[in-house]
Structures are given as structure tokens and as C-alpha cells.
């Protein structure tokens, strides 16, 4: 089951369950669409995979299966990320 993390790991922007701006990789690293588009260029800085729109949990199930409320904030070190970005930015996510 998805954790539904509450914020962008890079900039800290709130990404509640119903956010249409939340993006995740297959390991559930969570970023806002602005960071994915303008900084990450659709490359997860943690695994190198692509990022997709995160689904939201149906409201009626939130009480039984609540979204995660643990904030993860790990701003991107652009210098360290540059090598990963250069390696994967021109490779389709399903071919990385």
C-alpha cells in the first residue's frame, strides 16, 4: 500500500492525499511536479528512475488506511545529482 507521503522531499511543499501535484518513483520517493519538471527533469535523485503522478487514496478509506504524516526533507545537492541527471535525463524511464 502506498505511504502517501505528505511533502516534496526537495522543497518541502505540502502534498496531501488529494494533491494533483504529487509525483512518485517506484520506491515512493515523493516530489512536487515543479521540482520534477524544473530541477529533476523526471529523474529520481535517489534511484535514477522516472516519476509519475501519485494516485490519491479514496477519502472513505483514509480513516482505516491513513496517509503517512512523517515529513521527509532531503533537498537535492545539485552538484551530486548532476552525474545522475546527466546519465539518465535523455533515457526513457522504462529503459533506465
**pLDDT of the chain along its 96 residues, tens only?**
999 999 999 999 999 999 999 999 999 999 999 999 999 999 999 999 999 999 999 999 999 999 999 999 999 999 999 999 999 999 999 999
Q: What is d(CA 96, CA 88) in angstroms, rounded to the nearest whole number?
A: 7
Q: List the one residue out of 39, 1, 41, 8 whose CA is nearest residue 24.
A: 8
Asked if 35 and 42 count as a contact pair (C-beta separation under 8 A), the reply is no
Asked if 44 and 51 count as a contact pair (C-beta separation under 8 A), the reply is yes
Q: What is the residue extent of each domain of the chain?
A: 22-95
Helical ranges in the chain per DSSP H: 33-35, 78-88
pTM: 0.94
Amino acid at each position: 500500500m502506498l505511504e502517501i507521503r505528505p511533502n516534496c522531499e526537495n522543497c518541502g511543499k505540502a502534498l496531501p492525499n488529494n494533491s494533483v501535484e504529487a509525483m512518485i518513483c517506484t520506491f515512493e520517493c515523493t516530489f512536487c511536479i515543479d521540482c520534477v519538471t524544473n530541477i529533476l527533469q523526471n529523474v529520481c535523485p535517489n534511484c535514477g528512475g522516472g516519476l509519475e503522478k501519485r494516485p490519491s487514496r479514496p477519502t472513505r478509506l483514509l480513516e482505516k488506511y491513513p496517509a503517512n504524516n512523517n515529513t521527509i526533507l532531503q533537498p537535492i545537492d545539485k552538484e551530486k545529482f548532476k552525474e545522475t541527471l546527466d546519465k539518465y535525463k535523455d533515457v526513457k524511464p522504462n529503459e533506465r
